[in-house]
Homo-oligomer: A and B are copies of this chain.
Amino acid sequence: MHSLDASFSALADPTRRAILARLALGEATVMELAKPFDMTQPAVSRHLRVLEDAGLIVRRAEGTKRPCRLAADGLDGIDDWLALLRRALEPNYARLDDVLANMEPKPRTRTRKEKP
């Protein structure tokens, strides 16, 4: 599992998100990615390295090319973590939280017998 720091940090850049969106359509080489993004190949390669280190893409060797694709398990760590927040944001849970937040603290009822 790659670090969540690396995954979220990799996703915080708009060019890297655009590269991932392109790879969602299928595998692509650095050259194929550089053209529509109007970037140099070294610039694309730097972004790809960040995405690879974050476990979001994988690359394979094909002669001198190294086509990239989305990593099948690239979002697993992120999904697991976000699920925690999503559960807390579900309408029922949020309503319960509101109720609890607005409850007046009541004086505790004594359960101890008055006459021991």
A residues whose Cβ falls under 8 Å from a Cβ of B? 4-5, 8-9, 11-14, 17, 20-21, 23-27, 69-70, 72, 74-75, 78-79, 81-82, 84-89, 94, 97, 100-101
- Name the residue on B nearest A73 (C-beta): B89
B81 touches A26 (CB 8 A): no
B26 touches A4 (CB 8 A): no
Given contact pairs A75-B85, A85-B75, A4 touches B17 in the complex (Cβ within 8 A): yes
A81 / chain B contacts, CB cutoff of 8 Å? 17
A72 touches B94 (CB 8 A): yes
Which 6 A-B residue pairs are closest in the complex by CB-CB distance? A24-B88, A8-B12, A9-B12, A8-B11, A8-B8, A26-B97
Among A11, A82, A86, the one with the most B-chain Cβ atoms within 10 Å of its Cβ is: A11
Given contact pairs A82-B75, A85-B24, A89-B75, A14 touches B4 in the complex (Cβ within 8 A): yes
A5 touches B9 (CB 8 A): no
A9 / chain B contacts, CB cutoff of 8 Å? 8-9, 12
